[in-house]
Amino acid sequence: MSTLKGLLFNQYAAEGLTSLVEELQSKYTAKKGRRFNYNNVTYEVSRPTLSEGTIEYEISSKIPENEIKTPKEMQAFFQQVKKFVSKGKFKPESMEMDHIDLGLKNDTEKKRDYVKLLYKLHLDELFDDEEVAKRHKNIREGGKDQDVPHSASTFTATGNVVLADVRDTMKNIARDNINNLIDANKKTKEALKG
């Protein structure tokens, strides 16, 4: 059963991820939904879900089949990306190659292979007590913090600061993870060409 804490954290984690998607779509080439394209690779950031005291989300990148043709080359590409991603600051819970067959349209069938990374963050990893105390102290002393929401679900200013920290932490961690995946794709392309 979900707790109020979990539900609120998921809501603000979703805000953080949505803000990140908007940032990435304005920085790179925007695609439909929660996707963007950079360097001939399409990336997607999922919405978060609350599961057993953790926030889960996925990041995926399309394997560029116009550059990599055979199943063996795609598997080699995936293994290289996996190797580079595993060296990142935040380790994914799982890394898998996913295959999607899209329906027939104009007598052509589209097949796409993806690198799919699942990340899980425990609720208590989404905020920093020291950062919350510092921001709350600033507000108590009359300072303004425009990034702190007013949620009717929290009864204290500190609770609102925690939710802001959850949103910001989620956005920053996911940004690090997507940048790590972008870098892994770049390094993999270079390694396989050379």
**Exposed, middle or buried by CB within 10 Å (0-12, 13-18, 19+), for 188?**
buried
Among 181, 191, 188, 193, CA closest to 38: 181
Give Cβ neighbours of residue 153 (< 8 Å, ≥ 6 apart): 4, 8
The one-letter amino acid code at 189 reads K
Among 11, 19, 13, CA closest to 127: 13
- Residues of the chain with pLDDT > 70: what percent? 84
- Residues of the chain with pLDDT > 90: what percent? 53
What pLDDT score was predicted for residue 177?
A: 97
Residue extents of the structural domains in the chain: 4-193
Rounded Cα distance, 73 and 84, in Å: 17
Q: Does pLDDT of 153 surpass 70?
A: no
Q: Give the model's confidence band at 29: pLDDT under 50 very low, under 70 low, under 90 confident, else very high.
A: very high
Helix (H) / strand (E) containing 190: helix 157-193
Quote the DSSP letter at residue 48: P
What pLDDT score was predicted for residue 88?
A: 87
Rounded Cα distance, 189 and 63, in Å: 10
Quote the DSSP letter at residue 153: T
Q: Does pLDDT of 37 surpass 60?
A: yes
Average pLDDT over residues 151-166: 76
Unique residue bearing structure tokens 């996925």: 58
| CB neighbourhood size of 103 (10 A) | 6
Distance of CA 93 to the CA centre of its chain: 13
Rounded Cα distance, 88 and 120, in Å: 15
- What is the secondary structure of 80-145 as a DSSP string? HHHHHHTTSSS--SEEEEEEEEEEEETTEEEEEEEEEEEEEEEGGGG--HHHHHHHHHHHHTT---
Average pLDDT over residues 6-19: 94
pLDDT in tens, 172-186: 999 999 999 999 999
